[in-house]
Amino acid sequence: MKILPTITSPAQLRGMEISQLEVLAGEIREAICEQVSKTGGHLAPNLGVVELTIALHYVFDFAHDRLLFDVGHQCYPHKLLTGRYPLLSGLRTGKGMAGFPAPSESAYDLFSVGHAGTGISTAVGMARGDTLNGEAYDPAKRPDGRRVVTLIGDASIVNGVAMEGLNNAGTLKRQFLVVLNDNGMSISKPQGAVAQYFDRLRMSHVYADFKRGAKDILRMMPGGSLLHEAYHKMGEATKAMISEGAWFEHFGIVTVGPIDGHSLPALIEFLSEAAEFDRPMVLHVQTVKGKGFQFTERDASKFHSPPAFDRYEERGTTNCRVELKSKGRTFTAAFADALADLMARDDRVVAATAAMPDGTGVSKSLELFPDRVWDTGICESHALDMMAGLARCGFKPFLAVYSTFLQRAFDQAFQEAALQGLPVRLCLDRAGLVGGDGAVHHGFCDVALLRTLPGACLLAAIDEASLRAALAFMAGYDDGLSAVRYPRDVVSERFAGGTPAFELGRARCLTPRYEVGAPGAVLPDVAVLAFGTPAIDAMVAAESVGEGLAVGVWDARFAKPVDTGLIAALLGAGVPVVTVEDHALIGGFGAAVLEAAQSLGLDTSGVTRLGLPDAWIHQDPRSRQLAEAGIDAAGIGRAVRVAAGSSARGVLGGAQAARPAGPTPAHRVR
């Protein structure tokens, strides 16, 4: 009988033998791999922390103590040990287990987390809060108090927020444990000087000498006298593994390790001693990302967060062949080729990404142009500032970043790029709803943030051809910051014949019969202005509403500046306008249309805005999320019918209402 399905509480682990825990570890790995092969999800990060997670729950009681995750993409074993095995079959859907910690799911999850670097700071806050509440662990006064543990990776710990957290953690005068999961990987290979330090540390063989200098190390550290006193309370294993010369010492934090993160006996021994230590400590644990399967250990980057895949076992061997399932060519793949082509044509183009070379598609250019492309590691703020510096030197910098992670660099977009008038170019992958990753990763506010910046130019692509055209436009846009957004989705082949070049502030009509100002064009009953890929669904909606209703569809292309000439022509003629965007309604493209219409003195009562509501949309397939927000083809179709029904022109029907479209107003933005 399998152990995993019987686990309803971590308390059950404490009654098991080590051999049983090791069997459980194998079952957890197999269960996670089997499920991710069906739904996609974070595979390698979770496989690497199985024993570590078991040991943490074996030693600590996180129904009482505090466990805080950094990033959170390594939380699957934690969830399976805290009674959520029945939810695994619905992983990353509304009916199952979220792919990141979720307090709405379990009291064992303290924060919803999906961005790196935050775990130490939130843990410091809880440590201070428990102290103020008189609930903190104290070996003399309150041995039953709450302990605080945070789990962070070696790539995340160099993030600026993590550094700030460590700086404050060193001032705590109570138990506080940082478990450093060192697997030598971020999403891909970590970057920077600290990563090189960890590389050197892994290759060092001087650990046997640590015990000899431990007392002297503690005496010389900030708060050394207190720590020296605490030394006598340490277990012998911990004393022997105090890491001499560890850079955490400068924060006033004792560092222990590195220890084997896949040895349950070693983990339990060290964690048990760390639980009794009454000062901040870093426990350095070495793990293997993707542990347990040859294909994940061999290529942990590829299997960091793969789509669904098929696994074929080779009979008579321990090997297996894996084939990833693909629904088609992705925007990320399209961007990878487009950027590489752009860099080949223009040697002033440079590019960077923040720890996402594969996820953003920059890896292709990184290989082709290693002197002009950089992976900065998990530090979006630094990456954007570095791009500003390159722009000041006359280069054309492109920063590829997920929309959700751009939020971490908004201050730099403001201060070092836009305020200086520097042409830094942002390529925003995963814009809009992202599917199974859920609310922590939705890119729903990039337009609202960047639209506030004077001189900014904001674009969206609807397919591969328009993405290439957008990048070409941005390469020549030198008046300030620019950005193009595109979703985590496959590219449409609907307009495979190509696309016209982008013109500043000008939309593209996808229904030529209604092209404003074109010879023989007529006005539609309803106009749909779509920003980004919702234009494809708008075309489907336009075709589905019936022949009695004339629907014109425009690929808006720009959220700043919007096409004021088109807006004036449509609203001035009384045509109802439906705006659609895969972005929050607050501050988004539709809001920009309303603001432009108001500034032109136009009646905005005929404008209907579709977009993401003022509410969180949780994990589910992207198609369901679009339907929930009402911005899929069906939702757009409903909105078009309602808009037509409220308009006198719409009631007449397309053929009777059609009249020549007037010329494009002279005040069209150029």
Q: Return the bridge partners of 180, or none.
A: 152, 284
Nearest to 161 by CA among 394, 378, 10, 347: 378
Active-site residue, from 269, 380, 416, 581: 380
CA atoms of 349 and 394, how far apart (whole Å): 10
Structure tokens at 542: 């336009």
CA atoms of 649 and 451, how far apart (whole Å): 33
Tokens 């999906």 locate to 114
DSSP characters for 373-408?
Answer: EEE--S-HHHHHHHHHHHHHTT-EEEEEEEHHHHGG
Handedness of CA 145, 129, 283, 42 (dihedral sign): positive
CA atoms of 14 and 6, how far apart (whole Å): 14
Our measurement of the distance from residue 477's CA atom to the centroid of its chain's CA atoms, rounded to an integer in Å, reads 27
Active-site residue, from 147, 174, 408, 425: 408
> Would strands 349-353 and 396-402 be described as parallel, antiparallel, or unpaired?
parallel
Determine the Cα angle at 353 with ends 424 and 41, to 5°.
Answer: 135
Structure tokens at 192: 């920077």
Q: Return the bridge partners of 508, or none.
A: 555
Contact 80, 8 (CB under 8 A): no
Contact 641, 545 (CB under 8 A): yes
Structure tokens at 54: 């078991």
> Is 380 in the active site?
yes
Neighbours of 413 (CB within 10 A): 28
> Is 408 in the active site?
yes
Handedness of CA 570, 572, 573, 574 (dihedral sign): positive
Burial 53-65 (b: 16+ CB within 10 A, else e): bbbbbbbbebeeb
Q: How far is CA 404 from CA 224, 327, 339, 480, in A?
A: 41, 23, 21, 22
Nearest to 520 by CA among 338, 659, 341: 659
DSSP characters for 123-163?
Answer: HHHHHHHHHHTT-B-BTTTBTTSB-EEEEEETTGGGSHHHH
CA atoms of 333 and 200, how far apart (whole Å): 35
CA atoms of 164 and 175, how far apart (whole Å): 19
Nearest to 68 by CA among 43, 103, 29: 103
Contact 356, 376 (CB under 8 A): no
Dihedral-angle region of residue 261 (phi above 0 means left; psi in -120 to 50 means alpha; beta otherwise):
alpha
Q: How far is CA 669 from CA 563, 567, 568, in A?
A: 6, 11, 11
Contact 622, 490 (CB under 8 A): no
Q: What is the CA radius of gyration of the chain?
A: 28
Q: In what order do the strands lie in the sheet with 66-69?
A: 66-69, 148-153, 176-182, 280-286, 254-260
Active-site residue, from 66, 84, 289, 468: 289
Our measurement of the distance from residue 661's CA atom to the centroid of its chain's CA atoms, rounded to an integer in Å, reads 44
Catalytic residues: 289, 380, 408
